[in-house]
Amino acid sequence: MGQSEILIMESETKPTFSKSTGLPRKRFYRARAHSNPLSDSHFPIPISPAHVDFSLHFPKFVGANNEEVSKKVEFADIGCGFGGLLISLATLFPDTLMIGMELRDKVTEYVKERILALRKTSSGGQYENVSVVRTNSMKYIPNYFEKGQLSKMFFLFPDPHFKEKNHRRRVISVDLLDEYAYVLRAGGIIYTITDVEELGEWMRSCLEKHPMFESLTQDELDSDPVVELLCSATEEGQKVARNGGQTFRAVFRRIAYVS
């Protein structure tokens, strides 16, 4: 009996899974659109990147207790939602490890179940390079990644936090960019997109003000296969497209430090 048949049989006893595809159904994992990133949450927090057991996420690439590591995580999707971008990137960059970081527990559980299901139903070891963790990335990014470890970070359709008093909750700020610059290697890329014009201007302004980032040229954007996924691969982006809405994008490169 094939893996796909086993998964579909399992799904018949799990109402949260589709009988036809074996994948989890979103309606059983719905949660509030956003969470307050400044509130305390109850989940394990590693004290350093060395204390993150990535063998639990990428058993094909990392040995038990990180004893044998053939690859390290290079892409991080911050606030990954239902994982649409990660799933697309997993096959576009099959040799790159990537992880989604999501604060909402039900949404994180959905992405985890989705990845496990795809691993079982796919051939050739697909999706073994992608995983998800529940955490508050605004607080704990340095707890997960070493200096200069990442080559790409994604901030797609983040919570606008419209009220001025809540702007400190925004996931892109000049102060937080210090931390993102720390975990990004020189030449690493930050991708941001939103359908809220004021937030788009805010994120671009923060990146322009920060001395460690420079904007990509139009030619570089046109040649980057990831850029077109910023809308098409995510649930939010697809909704904006269906409604004929606008999006506001800012893509910046982490530059080398010059003393």
Annotated binding site for S-adenosyl-L-methionine: 79, 102-103, 136-137, 156, 234-236
Torsion on CA atoms 62, 183, 170, 215, rounded to nearest 10: -120
Q: What is the CB neighbour count within 10 angstroms for residue 154?
A: 25
Whether 95 is catalytic: no
Tokens found for residue 221: 């954007």
Tokens found for residue 240: 């904006």
Evaluate whether 83 touches 112 at the Cβ level (below 8 Å): no
What 77-80 contacts at long range (C-beta under 8 Å, 24+ apart), as own/partner pairs, is 77/101, 77/153, 77/154, 77/156, 78/137, 78/153, 78/154, 78/155, 78/158, 78/171, 79/103, 79/137, 79/155, 79/156, 79/158, 79/159, 79/171, 80/111, 80/132, 80/154
Known binding site: residues?
79, 102-103, 136-137, 156, 234-236
Separation between Cα atoms, residue 61 and residue 64, nearest integer Å: 10
> Which residues on neighbouring strands pair with residue 193, listed in sequence order?
156, 249
Instruction: Catalytic residue, from 95, 105, 159, 178: name it.
Output: 159
Tokens found for residue 177: 């960019």
Residue 192 CA: distances (Å) to CA of 22, 47, 118, 201, 215: 32, 28, 27, 11, 12
DSSP-derived 3-state class of residue 39:
coil
Catalytic positions:
159
